[in-house]
């Protein structure tokens, strides 16, 4: 594998430079003096920022984009072997690294690299941890899988020993990482277009845990099924958090204020007790806070600073994000695209003041919709009214015989009414006619369903 010498900046070309993670890594390397170029399908806010900061960005991926002075090509898992630029790189004998391999090498430049993994909650927890570190004034470098407004994007370049990043299990990419501290939030079935089954996923997380050095630390949710299988054979320190009082960190006496924000008593295994309050909704965020507090303790951040950081954390884009109000209807947007995430979001919504709860759901990929059809139907039934948009295909081309109408029928079989419309415009028209004052409307999914919320607020 090609090894980068970070003391000797080179010219790196990114295939798919506009991706949320790729653009962030490119931005960090620009700050470190590297020459950066790359390509993507179309302009975006992320590519425009890179161009402003000195990167050369091409739109459309073509062989002629590659110049002879390029020293290294970086590409994502989404890039197929028949990509013209990847083919050209091999023809020109330019070394290549995957995005994950590059990120793993970048981690070696920091004394304390932290990787946050899990099927759900990575972006929120990474942002929550980031806010605590910013409150502590430790000047971290941050790579977040979503836009976090306090840092003006998804990346922050600091000058300290701390590097914090998300660690995604898809295509086993996080196995290329080199963290000193690892967090595992949860392990469930997902990405079944890559993994064979839940055991295959669990094996991947176990291998991730084994990456941690002897003087490193794993922070893991003890509610994970048979968690001892994931921690077996580790030489590093293991810290647990979860619902059981036998965990190193647990929460009790969870209460919610008039706006649905939780407060809780943090219970240490040694009997010590502290009180924390959040400005994000849902019991799942109390659990994310436990992981964040455990990390802060490992980094010796004082409790009062941690409390201030948690209280000032207002969430990230597309995670129970308040979009605005229309005719007295509160509109929220959320990225949830897995049954567990949907349940967490809709349960959180129950603590938010409202008369009727509407959910507009856009399923994400045919593979996921088919794998969790029954679970999606049950989770969505927590809403009072359900509207389905067409499936967002993302990287997939084969429908597998699945459509949103298939999911609609499953929901109706449970005795719950469900509406399906083939266009966003039809959905918006229906909502305008049927939502009333004091209702709560959530647009939900990992695709472009957020456009519905934004279009409504402009009408």
pLDDT computed for residue 316 by the predictor = 79
Q: Is the pLDDT of residue 315 over 90?
A: no
DSSP 8-state symbol, 8 = S
Q: How confident is the model at residue 274 (pLDDT cuts 50, 70, 90)?
A: very high
pLDDT computed for residue 76 by the predictor = 86
Mean residue pLDDT of the chain comes to 94
The radius of gyration of the chain from alpha carbons, rounded to an integer in Å, stands at 22
Burial 432-449 (b: 16+ CB within 10 A, else e): eeebeeebbbbbbbbbeb
Residue 76 annotated among the catalytic residues of the structure: no
Residue 321 phi, psi dihedral angles, 5° rounding? -90, 120
Q: How confident is the model at residue 147 (pLDDT cuts 50, 70, 90)?
A: confident
H-helix segments, 216-320: 227-231, 283-298, 303-312
Q: Is the pLDDT of residue 395 over 90?
A: no
pLDDT computed for residue 97 by the predictor = 96
pLDDT computed for residue 347 by the predictor = 92
Q: Is the pLDDT of residue 174 over 90?
A: yes
Which residue is listed with tokens 């008369």? 355
- Convert the pLDDT of each residue in 203-221 to its tens digit: 999 999 999 999 999 999 9
Which of 56-60, 122-126, 188-192, 234-238 is the least confident region?
A: 188-192
* Range ranked top by mean pLDDT from 70-79, 152-161, 204-213, 249-258: 204-213
pLDDT computed for residue 319 by the predictor = 83
* DSSP secondary structure letters along 147-215: EEGGGTEEEE--SSSEEEEEE--GGGGGGG---SEEEE-------TTT-SSHHHHHHHHHHHHHTS-TT
- Convert the pLDDT of each residue in 12-56 to its tens digit: 999 999 988 899 999 999 999 999 999 998 999 899 999 999 999
**Of 166, 169, 189, 385, catalytic:** 166
Q: Which residues contact 396 (CB under 8 A, 6 or more apart)?
A: 193, 365, 366, 367
Which of 175-184, 189-198, 436-445 is the least confident region?
A: 189-198
By the 10 Å C-beta count (0-12 exposed, 13-18 middle, 19+ buried), 82 is classed as exposed
Residue 442 phi, psi dihedral angles, 5° rounding? -115, 120
- Convert the pLDDT of each residue in 279-310 to its tens digit: 998 899 999 999 999 999 999 999 999 999 99
**Of 47, 112, 119, 123, catalytic:** 123
Residue 161 annotated among the catalytic residues of the structure: no
Could you tell me which residue, 221 or 108, shows the higher pLDDT?
221
Mean pLDDT value across residues 397-407:
92
pLDDT computed for residue 451 by the predictor = 96
Structure tokens at 97: 């690294």
C-alpha to C-alpha distance for 439 and 330, rounded to whole angstroms: 7
Q: How confident is the model at residue 271 (pLDDT cuts 50, 70, 90)?
A: confident
In this prediction the pTM is 0.83
**Of 112, 122, 340, 341, catalytic:** 122
Half-sphere exposure of 289 (CA within 13 A, CB side): 35
Half-sphere exposure of 280 (CA within 13 A, CB side): 28
pLDDT computed for residue 371 by the predictor = 93
DSSP 8-state symbol, 392 = B
Q: Is the pLDDT of residue 77 over 80?
A: no
Q: Is the pLDDT of residue 320 over 90?
A: no
C-alpha to C-alpha distance for 181 and 295, rounded to whole angstroms: 8
C-alpha to C-alpha distance for 402 and 149, rounded to whole angstroms: 37
C-alpha to C-alpha distance for 118 and 186, rounded to whole angstroms: 5
In contact, 333 and 440? CB cutoff 8 Å: no
Q: Pairing mode, if any, of strands 321-326 and 217-221?
A: unpaired
Which of 214-218, 313-317, 425-429 is the least confident region?
A: 313-317
Residue 316 annotated among the catalytic residues of the structure: no
């Amino acid at each position: 594998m090609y090894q980068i010498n970070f003391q000797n900046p080179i010219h790196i070309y990114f295939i798919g430079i506009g991706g949320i993670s790729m653009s962030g890594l490119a931005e960090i390397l620009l700050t470190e003096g590297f020459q950066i170029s790359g390509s993507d399908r179309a302009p975006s806010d992320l590519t425009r920022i890179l161009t402003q900061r000195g990167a050369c960005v091409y739109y459309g991926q073509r062989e002629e984009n590659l110049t002879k002075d390029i020293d290294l090509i970086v590409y994502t898992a989404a890039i197929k072997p028949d990509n013209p630029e990847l083919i050209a790189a091999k023809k020109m004998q330019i070394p290549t690294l995957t995005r994950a391999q590059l990120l793993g090498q970048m981690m070696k430049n920091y004394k304390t690299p932290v990787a946050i993994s899990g099927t759900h909650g990575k972006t929120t927890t990474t942002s929550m941890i980031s806010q605590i570190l910013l409150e502590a004034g430790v000047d971290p470098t941050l790579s977040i899988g979503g836009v976090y407004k306090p840092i003006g994007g998804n990346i922050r370049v600091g000058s300290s020993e701390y590097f914090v990043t998300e660690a995604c299990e898809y295509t086993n990419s996080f196995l290329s990482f080199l963290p000193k501290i690892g967090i595992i939030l949860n392990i469930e079935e997902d990405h079944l277009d890559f993994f064979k089954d839940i055991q295959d996923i669990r094996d991947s997380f176990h291998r991730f845990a084994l990456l941690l050095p002897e003087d490193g630390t794993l922070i893991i949710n003890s509610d994970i099924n048979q968690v001892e299988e994931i921690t077996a054979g580790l030489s590093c320190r293991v810290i647990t958090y979860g619902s059981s009082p036998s965990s190193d960190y647990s929460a009790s006496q969870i209460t919610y204020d008039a706006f649905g924000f939780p407060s809780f008593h943090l219970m240490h295994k040694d009997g010590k007790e502290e009180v924390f309050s959040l400005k994000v909704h849902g019991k799942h965020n109390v659990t994310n806070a436990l992981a964040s507090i455990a990390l802060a303790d490992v980094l010796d951040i004082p409790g009062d600073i941690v409390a201030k950081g948690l209280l000032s954390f207002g969430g990230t884009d597309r995670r129970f994000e308040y979009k605005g109000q229309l005719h007295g209807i509160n509109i929220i947007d959320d990225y949830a695209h897995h049954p567990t995430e949907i349940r967490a979001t809709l349960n959180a919504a129950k603590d938010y003041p409202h008369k009727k709860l509407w959910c507009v759901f856009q399923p994400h990929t045919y593979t996921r919709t088919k794998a969790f059809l029954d679970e999606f139907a049950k989770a969505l039934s927590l809403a009072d009214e359900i509207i389905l948009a067409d499936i967002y295909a993302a990287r997939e081309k084969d429908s597998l015989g699945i459509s949103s109408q298939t999911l609609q029928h499953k929901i109706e079989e449970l005795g719950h009414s469900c509406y399906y419309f083939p266009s966003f415009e039809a959905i918006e028209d229906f909502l305008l006619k049927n939502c009333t004052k004091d209702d709560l409307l959530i647009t939900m999914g990992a695709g472009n369903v957020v456009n519905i919320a934004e279009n409504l607020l402009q009408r």
